[in-house]
């Protein structure tokens, strides 16, 4: 099922309990309370926090293992990348061994990469580490760590045990680095499992306005030239990662569409990229504000053949059929026979477009995939341009 289901109103994310068990029977425990600093200023128009260093997540707790004992632990992490175009994310740990680090995340096609550089104070052996992470999917990650005199290759697999609990399995091999004659300390190969449980309350979602309020505001959709295009399953996906291959292709379409829209003078908001740490509740509250200000919010999805609606369609629009944009989007693919009022985004004046059959995309060669993304992006572009010109004409007519 592609659209986000309604989840219980208040959940998770204030307390974090992590345990790690390794093949050498060493174990580590981390218990902490997460604070978002300061949490009071709210989101800006583009879903970013109003001050660019906000939110800073601060974790206060204890950390330790069988070899080190327990000690107090503080980690400060800017959740919004800073330093202009470099978009670096500073991270600082204050504990028995203070660490400062900086991280840069970027994507190449559907692949996500992260480069991290960190410096540990007061350790003789490994004062610095450079780490490259390649994430081919939400589950699999390959990591290379280069430290002062050794390289560690790691394979990680994530698995969500529940909406609030995740496990990461890790296999690692250590190798000496650059003809170093220093022996590698510890075991040369190891494995571990890392379990994280989130506890506590989460931001609450505001009650949606009456449907008529969103419908009225949608009359201004074409005028503002500001639009949100969000690939499905990127904001706070939890266990909802969509049909196989869907998430990646949602992103490919959105990237094509964003380029087209920008070239045609639209300001495109991308909360998936610019505010990736939003909780689902924060996102829904923000969607409601956007659509009420006359800025459309379009979420791109796809689904597998098994997700057919009662009329046998896989593709189609989910949203208020009285909103002009939704009718334009549905011109070629129709509306899906699903109650749009049951879903968070359409209920708040946004629209979900189930734009492709994910099973078909999985069968495609890379060049066909690129073509398909261009074709779908082009169709969506035409629909958006049509409402823009219609409201423009209306304005002149008035
Ligand atoms: Zn979906």
Question: Do both 189 and 302 map to the same domain?
Answer: no
Lowest mean pLDDT among 1-15, 45-59, 361-375: 1-15
In a domain, 371, yes or no: yes
The pLDDT tens digits of the residues spanning 74-93 come to: 988 887 777 777 888 889 98
Helices 366-397 and 246-263, interaxial angle, to 10°? 40
Give the Å distance between the CA of 233 and the centre of ligand 1. 6
- Is the confidence at residue 12, as pLDDT, over 50? no
Q: Is 250 exposed, middle or buried (0-12, 13-18, 19+ CB in 10 A)?
A: buried
Give the Å distance between the CA of 304 and the centre of ligand 1. 9
In a domain, 6, yes or no: no
Instruction: List the strands of the sheet with 226-231, edge to edge.
Output: 267-269, 226-231, 297-303, 351-357, 316-318
Give the Å distance between the CA of 238 and the centre of ligand 1. 13
- Is the confidence at residue 9, as pLDDT, over 60? no
Give the Å distance between the CA of 155 and the centre of ligand 1. 27
At 123, the pLDDT band (50, 70, 90 cuts) reads low
pLDDT in the model for residue 124? 65
pLDDT in the model for residue 32? 86
Per DSSP, 306 falls in state G
Give the Å distance between the CA of 276 and the centre of ligand 1. 17
Mean pLDDT (whole number) for 35-61: 72
The pLDDT tens digits of the residues spanning 34-45 come to: 776 655 566 777
Give the Å distance between the CA of 232 and the centre of ligand 1. 5
Give ion ligand 1 contacts, CB < 5 A: 2, 232, 242, 301
Question: Do both 259 and 162 map to the same domain?
Answer: no
Is omega for the bond preceding 55 within 30 degrees of 0, making it cis? Answer: yes
pLDDT in the model for residue 10? 31
What CATH number has the domain bearing residue 117?
2.40.160.40
Give the Å distance between the CA of 306 and the centre of ligand 1. 13
pLDDT in the model for residue 264? 93
Position with higher pLDDT, 380 vs 275:
380
- Is the confidence at residue 282, as pLDDT, over 60? yes
Question: Do both 352 and 393 map to the same domain?
Answer: yes
Question: Do both 185 and 229 map to the same domain?
Answer: no
Question: Do both 169 and 234 map to the same domain?
Answer: no
Give the Å distance between the CA of 301 and the centre of ligand 1. 4
Of 26-35, 104-113, 164-173, 198-207, highest mean pLDDT: 164-173
Give the Å distance between the CA of 126 and the centre of ligand 1. 43
Mean pLDDT (whole number) for 328-336: 94
Q: Is 213 exposed, middle or buried (0-12, 13-18, 19+ CB in 10 A)?
A: middle
In a domain, 5, yes or no: no
Dihedral pair phi/psi, residue 89, rounded to 5°: -115, 110
- Is the confidence at residue 2, as pLDDT, over 50? no
Domain final residue, candidates 199, 233, 257: 199
Give the Å distance between the CA of 247 and the centre of ligand 1. 7
pLDDT in the model for residue 178? 58
At 137, the pLDDT band (50, 70, 90 cuts) reads confident
- Is the confidence at residue 131, as pLDDT, over 80? yes
Give the Å distance between the CA of 353 and the centre of ligand 1. 9
Give the Å distance between the CA of 291 and the centre of ligand 1. 21
Cβ(252)–Cβ(110) below 8 Å: yes
- Domain interval for residue 31: 15-199
The pLDDT tens digits of the residues spanning 174-205 come to: 887 655 566 656 667 888 898 988 876 666 77
- Is the confidence at residue 389, as pLDDT, over 50? yes
The pair of three-digit structure tokens given for residue 176, joined into one six-digit string = 């000496």
At 125, the pLDDT band (50, 70, 90 cuts) reads low
Cβ(337)–Cβ(319) below 8 Å: no
Domain final residue, candidates 149, 174, 199: 199
In a domain, 247, yes or no: yes
- Is the confidence at residue 139, as pLDDT, over 80? no
Give the Å distance between the CA of 243 and the centre of ligand 1. 7
Question: Do both 112 and 35 map to the same domain?
Answer: yes
pLDDT in the model for residue 51? 67
Mean pLDDT (whole number) for 341-358: 96
Q: Please list the residues that pair with 78 across neighbouring strands.
A: 56
In a domain, 68, yes or no: yes
- Whole-Å CA distances, 368 to 231, 314, 361, 371: 20, 20, 9, 5
Position with higher pLDDT, 246 vs 46:
246
- Is the confidence at residue 392, as pLDDT, over 70? no
The CA distance from 369 to 371, in Å, is 5
Question: Do both 194 and 273 map to the same domain?
Answer: no
Give the Å distance between the CA of 20 and the centre of ligand 1. 32
At 6, the pLDDT band (50, 70, 90 cuts) reads very low
In a domain, 204, yes or no: no
Does the pTM surpass 0.85? The reply is: no
Question: Do both 232 and 183 map to the same domain?
Answer: no
Give the Å distance between the CA of 249 and the centre of ligand 1. 10
Give the Å distance between the CA of 280 and the centre of ligand 1. 14
Give the Å distance between the CA of 239 and the centre of ligand 1. 12
In a domain, 259, yes or no: yes
What CATH number has the domain bearing residue 226?
3.40.630.40
The CA distance from 390 to 398, in Å, is 12
Number of domains in the chain: 2
Give the Å distance between the CA of 250 and the centre of ligand 1. 8
Question: Do both 44 and 71 map to the same domain?
Answer: yes
Per DSSP, 91 falls in state E
Position with higher pLDDT, 247 vs 89:
247
Give the Å distance between the CA of 16 and the centre of ligand 1. 28
In a domain, 182, yes or no: yes
Question: Do both 195 and 228 map to the same domain?
Answer: no
393 Rama sector, left if φ>0, alpha if ψ -120 to 50, beta otherwise: alpha
Domain final residue, candidates 199, 225, 246: 199
pLDDT in the model for residue 4? 38
Give the Å distance between the CA of 315 and the centre of ligand 1. 11
Mean pLDDT over each residue of the chain, to the nearest integer:
84
């Amino acid at each position: 099922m592609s659209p986000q289901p309604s989840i219980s109103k208040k959940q998770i994310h204030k307390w974090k309990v992590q345990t790690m068990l390794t093949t050498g029977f060493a174990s580590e425990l981390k218990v902490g309370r997460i604070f978002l600093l300061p949490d009071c200023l709210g989101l800006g128009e583009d879903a970013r926090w109003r001050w660019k260093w906000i939110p800073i997540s601060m974790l206060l707790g204890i950390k330790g293992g069988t070899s080190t004992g327990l000690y107090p632990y503080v980690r400060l992490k800017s959740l919004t990348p800073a330093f202009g175009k470099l978009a670096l994310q500073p991270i600082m740990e204050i504990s028995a061994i203070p660490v400062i680090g900086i991280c840069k995340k970027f994507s190449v096609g559907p692949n996500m990469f992260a480069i991290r550089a960190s410096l540990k104070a007061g350790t003789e052996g490994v004062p610095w580490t450079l780490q490259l992470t390649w994430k081919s999917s939400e589950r699999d990650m390959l990591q290379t760590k280069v430290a002062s005199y050794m390289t560690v290759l790691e394979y990680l697999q994530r698995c969500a045990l529940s909406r609030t609990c995740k496990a990461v399995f890790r296999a690692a091999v250590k190798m000496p680095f650059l003809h170093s004659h220093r022996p590698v300390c510890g075991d040369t190969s190891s494995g571990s499992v890392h379990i994280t449980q989130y506890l506590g309350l989460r931001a609450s979602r505001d009650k949606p306005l009456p449907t008529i309020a969103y419908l009225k505001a949608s009359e201004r959709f074409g005028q503002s030239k500001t639009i949100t295009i969000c690939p499905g399953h990127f904001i706070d996906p939890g266990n909802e990662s969509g049909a196989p291959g869907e998430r990646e292709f949602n992103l490919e379409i959105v990237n094509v569409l964003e380029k087209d829209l920008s070239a045609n003078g639209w300001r495109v908001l991308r909360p998936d990229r610019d505010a990736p740490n939003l909780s689902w509740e924060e996102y829904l509250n923000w969607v409601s504000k956007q659509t009420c200000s006359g800025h459309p919010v379009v979420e791109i999805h796809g689904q597998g053949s098994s997700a057919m609606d009662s009329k046998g369609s896989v593709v189609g629009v989910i949203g208020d059929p009285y909103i002009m944009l939704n009718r334009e989007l549905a011109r070629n693919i129709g509306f899906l026979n699903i109650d749009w009022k049951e879903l968070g985004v359409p209920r708040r004046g946004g629209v979900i477009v189930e734009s492709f059959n994910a099973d078909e995309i999985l069968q495609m060669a890379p060049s066909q995939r690129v073509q398909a993304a261009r074709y779908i992006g082009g169709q969506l572009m035409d629909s958006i341009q049509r409402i823009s010109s219609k409201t423009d004409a209306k304005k002149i007519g008035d």
